Amino acid sequence: MSTSRVLNEVERVRDRVERGDPYWPAQLTVAVAIALNLTLSQRVTVGPVWLLPAVEAVLLVALVVIAPARATRHSTGRRRLSLAVVGLVSLGNVVSLGLLVHFLINGGAAGGHKLILSGTVLWATNVLLFAVWYWEMDRGGPVVRFAHPDALPDFQFPQMENPRLAPPGWRPGFGDYLYTSLTNATAFSPTDTMPLTLTAKVVMGVQSLAALVTLALVVARAVNILG
């Protein structure tokens, strides 16, 4: 069973290397982030809870319609739309985080449980969105990684340090960036994947700070309510 699992993993990597990364994992991740926004407290959203997610969902559907199945060909318009969708969802998350910080510090006890839930949702959304940003940023994006596999990387993964531990031609897929985002938001620092460029260091630093602030305030409010 173990051998079969390893062989399946090798086949999945070979498929990505030869045919390009599929777009659907990133698109699904953004869709989940948009759906999570619908569970936020009204106090940490601008306008009706459904309004911004509805706009984001329309843009995401348009992107899914025009995007090919695999990231193999560059399109300036499509990439700009992709970054705009992720940027809009991220901006909404930043605004909600700012409102959450305000109400957790100054809002008193009213709606405390709902705000704690919103903080947890914002932390999870943080993990999802930064995974997409890392996937779009590293070496210029999935298309560049496919067309120019020798381009200078923004992140150094363990398989790049030890090629013998990975299939030939290995390069990170979306799952690797999602794991990197999760560990960075949990440990508040890089773990097994190191940022190499200044841009990568800044983005990982921003994620760590946002995750730390969110969890610290949520835990503090939870202790206050339980006390």
Query: Domain extents for the chain?
Result: 21-226
Determine the average pLDDT of the residues in 90-100. 91
Q: What is the pLDDT of residue 65?
A: 92
pLDDT tens digits, one per residue of 122-165: 999 999 999 999 999 999 999 999 999 889 999 999 999 988 88
Question: Amino acid identity of 137?
Answer: M
pLDDT tens digits, one per residue of 152-207: 999 999 999 988 888 888 999 999 999 999 999 999 888 899 999 999 999 999 99
Q: Residue 29: pLDDT band by 50, 70, 90 thresholds?
A: very high
Name 60's Cβ contacts closer than 8 Å, sequence gap at least 6: 27, 30, 31, 34, 85
Alpha carbon distances (Å) from 64 to 27, 100, 171:
7, 31, 24
pLDDT surpassing 90 at residue 113: no
- The sign one gets for the Cα dihedral 79, 81, 85, 90 is positive
Q: Residue 225: pLDDT band by 50, 70, 90 thresholds?
A: low
Q: What is the pLDDT of residue 7?
A: 83
Q: Residue 107: pLDDT band by 50, 70, 90 thresholds?
A: low
Q: Residue 102: pLDDT band by 50, 70, 90 thresholds?
A: confident
Direct distance between the N- and C-terminal alpha carbons of the chain, in angstroms, rounded to an integer: 50
138 Rama sector, left if φ>0, alpha if ψ -120 to 50, beta otherwise: beta
pLDDT surpassing 60 at residue 1: no
